[in-house]
Amino acid sequence: MHPRTRKALTSIFSDGFLLIYFLFALFPIVWMILVSLKSTNELFTTQFVFTPTLENYQAIIFGDPRAAAGVVARVDFPRNFLNSLIVSSGAVVVSLLVGVPAAYALARYNFKGKDTLAFTFLSFRFAPELVVIIPLSLIYRQLGLYDTYFGIIWVYQLVTLPLLIWVLRSYFEDISPDVEQAAMIDGYPWHQIFMKILLPLVRPGLAAAALLAFVFAWNNFIFPLVLGASNVQTVTVSALGYISSAQAFFNRMAAAAVIASVPQMMLALSIQRYLIRGLSFGAVKG
């Protein structure tokens, strides 16, 4: 075979494989959007032809007329959405307040037990959640923190804090110590150096890490499942409600899933440049 023909064939074959893979990767998302636009009558036909309707979105946002009659499971979606928003942003704000200084200390200072400390934070990322939340379910009941925003935000630190500390530490390490020393010679106190020079330098990375932490907190399921009930129920926990009822309402669930996940996909697109470093906790500087 002529080398050029061979090259063209390899290229076609490669693109073909990629297309098949991406069909597999994107199909469930496209299907979720399609089902969310189907009326309940059209749900059980396998034909692709259908008349899109927004009734599912209306039902989950403004309440389902049939929920009152007990036909459909009652899921208070707007309330759950708000809960997800409160606990996820609360968790990220707390993590930022305590994590940014800690990341700086871990990046810049040499002190005893530094690596142990950094790895203890990291080990939370890999720890099976139940090892912490089984005892917490008892402690929270004793302290009155069960099913409270504070309780959930506190335990979400397990998700958001290691991420922020490790990603930010890698960004701080990228800044040459000379920058700080120059400012020190100019007579700036350390807290001003931190606020006015270092923080602006890591800001893009900081924003990306915070957004990613938000997405992970939003996507979390096991913490609110075990440590929360009706007060703090998040969208991830309530999503189960749509299909655990006697009659499953897949189209409602799909609409809820679209509202709960499309914003994050857009967020992820906006931080794509920083995503790999975030996902790998600073280990891969993509």
Looking at residues 191 to 230 of the shown chain, list those that interact with other proteins (rule: CB under 8 A).
215, 218-222, 226
9 belongs to the binding site for other proteins (CB under 8 A) = no
20 belongs to the binding site for other proteins (CB under 8 A) = no
Closer residue to other proteins, CB minimum distance, 61 or 259 = 259
17 belongs to the binding site for other proteins (CB under 8 A) = yes
Q: Tell the smallest beta-carbon distance from residue 245 to other proteins (Å).
A: 13
231 belongs to the binding site for other proteins (CB under 8 A) = no
- Residues 233-272 close enough to bind other proteins by CB under 8 A: 235-236, 239-240, 243, 248, 250, 253-254, 257, 260-261, 264-265, 267-269, 272
How many residues sit close enough to other proteins to count as binding (CB under 8 A)? 91
Single out the segment in contact with other proteins by CB under 8 A; choices: 61-69, 92-100, 166-174, 180-188: 92-100
Which of 64, 83, 99, 206 binds other proteins (CB under 8 A)? It is 99
Q: What is the dihedral of CA 27, 28, 29, 32, to 10 degrees?
A: 120
Closer residue to other proteins, CB minimum distance, 135 or 200 = 135
The residue to which tokens 């703090």 are assigned? 232
H runs (alpha helix) in the chain = 3-36, 40-43, 55-62, 65-68, 77-108, 114-126, 130-143, 149-174, 177-185, 190-193, 199-219, 222-227, 235-239, 241-244, 250-270, 272-279
82 belongs to the binding site for other proteins (CB under 8 A) = no
Q: Tell the smallest beta-carbon distance from residue 277 to other proteins (Å).
A: 9
d(CA 72, CA 20): 38
Smallest Cα–Cα separation from 268: which of 199, 223, 218?
Answer: 218
26 belongs to the binding site for other proteins (CB under 8 A) = yes
Taking phi first (over 0 means left), then psi (-120 to 50 degrees means alpha), and beta for anything else, what does residue 42 get? alpha
